[in-house]
Amino acid sequence: MLVGSGLELKEVCSRRQISLQAEVAPNLPYDVWNSRKLRGELMTGKRVVVADDLTPVLSAVAKILDKSFDVVGMVTNGQTALDSTLALKPDLVILDISMPGMSGIEVAKELRRCESSAKIIFLTVHQDSDILATCLAAGGLGYVVKVLMDTDLIPAMHEALADRVFVSRFSYPPDVPDRKT
């Protein structure tokens, strides 16, 4: 780390952003990228980075968002999620909680430390009110359960863009803080 180097946190975050500017090409499945490119829809709507360690989930999210959002990055681990978000400066970042390297919660905390303006949505299998509370405390505005992503992800993203909290309905009645559906 840069302990004792005299650099402040803003400078460290800024240097990380500059060093990653070359990595801005989207990492979309070819069929999604090509269809959007041909339709001229690459830069319409809000920009999104998606992070999940499961490739099938990344593909499913890209297809859900294809007509409403511009997916500018898809990554499979926490450190790359952090780096991509700082470099690409998306409007939204969708984070899986359990990823290699850094958890989605750790990524969210670091994004807040670096003063990223990206709105954070957690996409997870966890239906746990304690984890939910931790995600909200880390700066998350959305908490979407993966089995409900077809119906809940886009509404959660719109709520986050309006600075409102969205939480998927759990399949059992938890004690959920600040719940909106």
Contact 72, 117 (CB under 8 A): no
Query: Per the domain annotation, does 175 fall within a domain?
Result: no
How much is the pLDDT for 173?
Answer: 57
| Residue 44 included in any domain | yes
Residues forming a β-bridge with 144: 123
At residue 171, the pLDDT reads 79
Backbone φ and ψ for 117, nearest 5 degrees, come out as: -95, 0
CB atoms within 10 A of CB 32: 17
Answer yes or no: is pLDDT of 148 > 70.
Answer: yes
The chain-wide mean pLDDT, for the chain, equals 80
Residue 25 lies in a domain: yes
| pLDDT tens readout for residues 22-48 | 333 344 444 444 444 444 444 447 999
Give the residue carrying structure tokens 């919660």: 105
Residue 56 within a domain:
yes
Q: How many percent of the chain have pLDDT more than 90? A: 66
Predicted confidence at residue 110, as pLDDT, reads: 97
110 is a domain residue: yes
Identify any residues that bridge with 120 across adjacent strands, giving them in sequence order: 93, 140
Q: How many domains does the chain have?
A: 1
- Quick: pLDDT tens for 6-29: 334 444 454 444 334 333 334 444
Q: Is residue 1 part of a domain?
A: no
pLDDT over threshold 80, residue 51: yes
Q: Which of 41, 152, 58, 142 is nearest to 92 (CA)?
A: 142
CATH code, domain with 104: 3.40.50.2300
CA separation for the pair 116, 131 (Å, rounded): 22
**Is 181 a member of any domain?**
no
The predicted model gives 91-98 an average pLDDT of 97
Domain that holds residue 74: 9-167
Is 173 or 65 the better-scoring residue by pLDDT? 65
In a domain? residue 154: yes
Residue 178's pLDDT band (boundaries 50, 70, 90)? low
Where residue 175 falls among pLDDT bands split at 50, 70, 90? low
Confidence check: pLDDT of 70 > 60: yes
